[in-house]
């Protein structure tokens, strides 16, 4: 399959995903309105509703960002710039586009952008693989010693 054919195929996938996200976001918003219209009987119900609203809101935010990325990719297709790295101007490899169809940078430029973003942060030199347990003096705690409850 040629690059052009692969991009046309990718366009169909992006359009389907865009439409699905639009429908999901419209459904999420109407569901939130319905939930708020119903009054809860007690404080526990209100707390659970609040938590559910927060989760739905965060999911809608993630979906909204993905939708924006997809719409930008479709616009780049229309303008003839899809598959061209915004950093270096070279072609983005098809393997990367297949993995992330709305990628705007090649892997090298993306890594550099992430590295620059990390350097601008305040904790770029922190080694999170080792933690200091301040309650026990100076004893070190490995990340492997932490137990997470995901149930």
pLDDT in tens, 139-151: 555 555 555 555 5
Neighbours of 14 (CB within 10 A): 20
What pLDDT does 146 receive? 56
Asked whether the predicted pLDDT for residue 121 surpasses 50, the reply is yes
DSSP state of 110: H
What pLDDT does 23 receive? 82
CB environment 66-85: b (16+ within 10 A), e (fewer):
ebebbeebbebbeeeebbbb
Which listed CATH number (3.40.190.170, 2.40.50.140, 1.20.120.910, 1.10.260.40) goes with 3-81? 1.20.120.910
Asked whether the predicted pLDDT for residue 57 surpasses 90, the reply is no
What pLDDT does 41 receive? 57
Distance CA 21, CA 15 (A): 10
What pLDDT does 4 receive? 86
Asked whether the predicted pLDDT for residue 67 surpasses 80, the reply is yes
Average pLDDT value for the chain? 76
Residue 7 tokens, joined: 């991009």
- 10 within 8 A of 96, measured Cβ to Cβ: no
What pLDDT does 108 receive? 94
Q: Where are the domains of the chain?
A: 3-81
Reported as a single tens digit per residue, the pLDDT across 87-109 is: 999 999 999 999 999 999 999 99
Percent of the chain with pLDDT over 70: 62
Asked whether the predicted pLDDT for residue 42 surpasses 80, the reply is no
């Amino acid at each position: 399959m040629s690059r052009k054919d692969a991009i046309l195929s990718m366009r169909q996938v992006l359009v389907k995903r865009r439409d699905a996200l639009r429908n999901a976001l419209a459904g999420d918003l109407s569901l939130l309105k319905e939930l708020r219209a119903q009054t809860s009987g007690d404080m526990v119900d209100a707390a659970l509703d609040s938590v559910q609203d927060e989760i739905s809101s965060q999911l809608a935010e993630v979906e909204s960002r993905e939708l924006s990325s997809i719409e930008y990719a479709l616009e780049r297709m229309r303008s003839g710039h899809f598959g061209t790295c915004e950093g270096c101007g070279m072609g983005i490899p098809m393997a990367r586009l297949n993995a992330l169809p709305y990628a705007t940078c090649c892997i090298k430029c993306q890594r550099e952008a992430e590295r620059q973003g990390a350097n601008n942060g305040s904790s770029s030199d922190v080694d999170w693989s080792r933690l200091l347990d301040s309650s026990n003096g100076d004893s070190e705690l490995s990340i492997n010693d932490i137990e997470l409850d995901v149930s």
